[in-house]
């Protein structure tokens, strides 16, 4: 006996293959039928009228803070926030305490994610303790399923270590080395973008060159080793240009942008509100325009959240003392729809490619990212593109409150999310 199925009724199905109005019938975790006016018995029907039915979103870059900082977030609460944001899979960054440089710690995160509201795929460290010296046991972590390796939060400073990491990753099928491109010495002591606003505010800055120097170097190392490099949270126009150039030369590089880097600028720091502090920092209007152009022309492959929860007290410190980072999982889709799709920077399918099937492919999460077609796993999200809402930090599912979008009015909201055929969000309410 199979369990009762779920029928998503009357939505506009959008995946990498196209766009059509259809019902979607799901049984036993799998899409079994996509078509007009499906009739089925023993099903729960979820209304998708006026909505988009898409492959679940995939976040390449989320900090779930477990183990070590469960006051800010846990795998459970972060996954719930993700599901409410339309995500069916997230890559959990390894800058935890202890870090994910060890098979036992990675195993504990996998176990914590087993009953979570989305699939949690831990990334592994590139170097032991993220110190940039000695390689982590990447082969052992790969055997546990790790595909994304990064010291995120820290840049791999040594070109020699980065080269060895790439050479080793090149022997691990599907592995990708993801760089937090910020030269530590250039960025040292800086709390925001170095420019007109940092001078006016008297806050020490982090120059754009801290990012571009590392991107330029790692493009060369991708060429030297032939191994894929992924650039996390690209924030500058100059880095976008370097990636565009590298791709034109056929080099194996990919890049992501975070919503805050195409929706906010360094001018926001004039409030001295630590909610606007992030690494790499909010940049200029020209950088925002360049990120948008990079998203539109395919230079940037992925929109990733860099969801970075912090304890409320930590973010109540003065700007220069507060830790960097912003929440992202529950606002990324709506920011993309409001700031990129509505103004015509991207069409809907291109936006979903950046949020779902491109990151799924880069992270090796081949069950995710669609297509919405018979025989494929039913990891889906149903989006009401017309729903209007206002960001209220008290109503977010994340354990933390550090969103920079307090009071921002957004259009587009997740209505249902389905993980392996099970509705984990119904009508905007988390079910687990
Ligand atoms: Zn980072």
Q: What is the pLDDT of residue 4?
A: 83
Set 306, 347, 384, 392: catalytic member: 306
pLDDT tens, position by position, 112-143: 999 999 999 999 999 999 999 999 999 999 99
Helix H, strand E, coil C: the string for the chain is CCCCEEEEEEEEEEECCEEEEEEEEEECCEEEEEECCCCCCCEEEEECCCCEEEECEEEEEECCCCCCCCCCCCHHHHHHHHHHCCEEEEEECCCCCCCCCCHHHHHHHHHHCCCCCCEEEECECCEHHHCCCCECCHHHHHHCCCCEEECCCCCCCCHHHHHHHHHHHCCCCCCEEEECCCCHHHHCCCCEECCHHHHHHCCCEECCHHHHHHHHHHHHHHHHHCCCEEECCCCCHHHHHHHHHHHHCCCCEEEEECCHHHHCCHHHHHHCCHHHCCCCCCCCHHHHHHHHHHHHCCCCCEECCCECCCCHHHHCCCCCCCCCCECCCCCHHHHHHHHHHCCCCCCHHHHHHHHHHHHHHHCCCCCCCCCCCCCCECCEEEEEEEEEEECCHHHCCCCCCCCCCCCCEEEEEEEEEEECCEEEEECCEECC
Cβ 203 vs Cβ 192: under 8 Å: yes
**Cα-to-centroid distance, 153 and ligand 1 (Å):** 4
| pLDDT for 108 beyond 90 | yes
Cβ 163 vs Cβ 218: under 8 Å: no
**Cα-to-centroid distance, 230 and ligand 1 (Å):** 12
Q: How far apart are CA 329 and CA 204, in angstroms?
A: 29
| pLDDT for 3 beyond 80 | no
Helix H, strand E, coil C: the string for 192-223 is EECCHHHHHHCCCEECCHHHHHHHHHHHHHHH
**Cα-to-centroid distance, 181 and ligand 1 (Å):** 8
pLDDT tens, position by position, 352-394: 999 999 999 999 999 999 999 999 999 999 999 999 999 999 9
**Cα-to-centroid distance, 32 and ligand 1 (Å):** 39
pLDDT tens, position by position, 302-357: 999 999 999 999 999 999 999 999 999 999 999 999 999 999 999 999 999 999 99
Cβ 170 vs Cβ 225: under 8 Å: yes
Q: How far apart are CA 250 and CA 371, in angstroms?
A: 27
Residues 6 or more apart from 40 whose CB is under 8 A from it?
5, 7, 25, 33
Q: What is the pLDDT of residue 204?
A: 98
How many percent of the chain have pLDDT more than 70?
100
Q: How far apart are CA 208 and CA 215, in angstroms?
A: 11
Active site annotation includes 306: yes
Q: What is the pLDDT of residue 225?
A: 98
Find the mean pLDDT for residues 17-29: 97
**Cα-to-centroid distance, 118 and ligand 1 (Å):** 22
pLDDT tens, position by position, 243-302: 999 999 999 999 999 999 999 999 999 999 999 999 999 999 999 999 999 999 999 999
Report the 10 Å Cβ neighbour count for 35.
11
Cβ 68 vs Cβ 105: under 8 Å: no
**Cα-to-centroid distance, 424 and ligand 1 (Å):** 29
At residue 41 the predicted structure's pLDDT band, cuts being 50, 70 and 90, is confident
**Cα-to-centroid distance, 93 and ligand 1 (Å):** 9
| pLDDT for 1 beyond 80 | no
**Cα-to-centroid distance, 256 and ligand 1 (Å):** 11
Q: What is the pLDDT of residue 273?
A: 97
By CB atoms closer than 10 A (0-12, 13-18, 19+), residue 209 is middle
Q: What is the pLDDT of residue 2?
A: 60
| pLDDT for 191 beyond 80 | yes
Q: What is the pLDDT of residue 284?
A: 98
- Give the chain's mean pLDDT: 97
Q: How far apart are CA 371 and CA 378, in angstroms?
A: 9
Find the mean pLDDT for residues 148-159: 98
Tokens of 118: 């989305």
The residues placing their C-beta within 5 Å of ligand 1, an ion, are 152, 180, 232
Tokens of 312: 């409320």
Find the mean pLDDT for residues 74-102: 98
């Amino acid at each position: 006996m199979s369990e009762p199925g779920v029928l998503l009724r009357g939505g506009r199905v959008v995946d990498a293959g196209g766009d059509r109005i259809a019902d979607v019938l799901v049984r036993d975790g799998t899409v079994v039928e996509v078509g007009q006016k499906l009739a089925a018995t023993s099903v729960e029907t979820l209304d998708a009228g006026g909505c988009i039915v898409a492959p679940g979103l995939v976040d390449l870059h989320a900090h779930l803070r477990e183990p070590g900082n469960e006051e800010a977030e846990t795998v459970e609460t972060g996954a719930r926030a993700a599901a409410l944001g339309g995500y069916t899979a997230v890559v959990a960054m390894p800058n935890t305490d202890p870090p994910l440089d060890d098979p036992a710690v990675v195993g504990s995160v996998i176990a914590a994610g087993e009953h979570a509201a989305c699939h949690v795929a831990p990334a592994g460290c590139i170097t032991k303790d993220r110190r940039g010296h000695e390689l982590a046991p990447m082969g052992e972590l790969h055997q546990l399923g790790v595909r994304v390796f990064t010291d995120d939060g820290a840049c791999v400073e040594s070109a020699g270590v980065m080269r060895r990491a790439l050479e080793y990753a090149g022997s691990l099928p599907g592995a990708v080395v993801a760089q937090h491109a910020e030269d530590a010495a250039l960025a040292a002591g800086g709390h925001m973008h170095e420019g007109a606003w940092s001078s006016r505010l008297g806050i020490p800055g982090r120059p754009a060159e801290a990012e571009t120097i590392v991107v330029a170097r790692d493009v060369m190392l991708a060429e030297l080793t032939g191994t894929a490099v992924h650039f996390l949270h690209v924030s500058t126009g100059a880095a976008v240009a370097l990636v565009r150039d590298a791709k034109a030369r056929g080099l194996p590089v990919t890049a992501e942008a975070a919503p805050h880097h195409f929706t906010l600028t360094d001018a926001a720091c004039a409030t001295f509100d630590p909610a606007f502090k992030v690494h790499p920092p909010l940049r200029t209007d020209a950088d925002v325009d360049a990120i948008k152009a990079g998203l539109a022309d395919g230079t940037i492959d992925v929109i990733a959240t860099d969801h970075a929860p912090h304890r409320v007290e930590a973010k109540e410190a003065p700007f220069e003392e507060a830790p960097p980072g912003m929440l992202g999982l529950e606002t990324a889709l709506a920011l993309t729809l409001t700031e990129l799709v509505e103004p015509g920077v991207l069409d809907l399918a291109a936006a979903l490619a950046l949020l779902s099937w491109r990151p799924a492919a880069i992270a090796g999460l081949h069950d995710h990212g669609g297509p919405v077609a018979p025989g494929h796993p039913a990891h889906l999200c149903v989006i009401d593109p017309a729903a209007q809402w206002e960001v209220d930090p008290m109503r977010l599912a994340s354990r933390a409150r550090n969103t920079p979008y307090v009071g921002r009015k957004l259009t587009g909201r997740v209505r249902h999310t389905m993980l392996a055929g099970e509705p984990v969000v119904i009508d905007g309410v988390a079910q687990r």
